[in-house]
Amino acid sequence: MKVAVLGAGAIGAYVGAALHRAGADVHLIARGPHLAAMRRHGVKILSPRGDFTAHAHATDNPTDIGPVDYVFLGLKANSYAACGPLIEPLLHKDTSVIAAQNGIPWWYFHRHGGPHDGHRIESVDPGGAVSAVLAPRRAIGCVVYAATELDAPGVVRHLEGTRFSVGEPDRSSSARCRAFSEAMQAGGLKCPVEKDLRNDIWLKLLGNISFNPISALARATMRQMCHHGGTRHVIQTMMRETLAVAEALGCEVGVSIERRLAGAERVGDHRTSTLQDLEAGKPLELDVLLTAVIELADITGTHVPTLRTVHAISDLLAHRTAA
């Protein structure tokens, strides 16, 4: 199995290291000091489950790699539309693309069935720009339940969780999903093939849609947001509204809001990816989290006043950060 990790940051390098340990032919695509460190010393994983180092091929030039069986996308979703020159050299006719993104993916209604089948969500696929680069037929959905951070260039700290759920947009149990799942499990990760990954998407989104923007607005960690009474109430309200949109689309999350909050609390003083991006001066990945759900609320007629309020404020922050 030949795998390219496009965007081998904290999550991408962690997955690449695990697949390399399982014997896959892994190629990490990165840049800057992080790439230089991986070339010199490999990827060092620091984890409560045991530290290890993987010496996978690392490059900033996808043409050095050529076509692969799987592209694992570790890029932020707001980079997808512009990633054509990077991903094109990696594709053959059957290459699968596994996007480890938060929020609502561009392929969400691809082979969905029902009244919205084939509908394009403008906020995540503006004008079809993402679908033009990442054909939905190539997509394997992936929901990440692992928390990682870059401790230093070439050094990934694994904080908790090893689950990477995958699934086909059409809900089938495909050979390509099963093969990727087996390779991930051989590398020490959990990788169940879910019949309907959209349920997992909403479960993960329940936290991301609330904690991520609030963490950026308040400059707060997971523990701090959970322990502050007012913020906890806002987050609970955002979660209730998000569940209403999911239910309107026929999805069942199967986890209570209190259980979701308890899980977030256990993470402790972890900074969300949105807060990390804000502190680093990077664009904020809010369209796939908040904007998309409000768009889905509009097409399902779901009332989401708190989501709209938080979106308005965080959208201003995102525009000021990008300016």
Tell me 193's DSSP state: B
**Residues 2, 190, 204, 282: which is the catalytic one?**
204
Contacts of 191 (CB under 8 A, 6+ apart): 163, 164, 165, 166, 180, 181, 184, 185
Tell me 272's DSSP state: P
Distance, CA of 144 to CA of 203 (rounded, Å): 11
Q: Which of 249, 228, 237, 244 is nearest to 210 (CA)?
A: 237
Distance, CA of 202 to CA of 110 (rounded, Å): 16
Active site residue 204: yes
Distance, CA of 14 to CA of 128 (rounded, Å): 30
Distance, CA of 268 to CA of 286 (rounded, Å): 23
Distance, CA of 206 to CA of 200 (rounded, Å): 10
Contacts of 209 (CB under 8 A, 6+ apart): 103, 238, 239, 242, 289, 290, 293, 307
Q: Locate 240 and state its tokens.
A: 């209730």
Q: Do the Cβ atoms of 159 and 149 come closer than 8 Å? A: yes
Tell me 255's DSSP state: S
Which residues are catalytic, by number?
Answer: 204
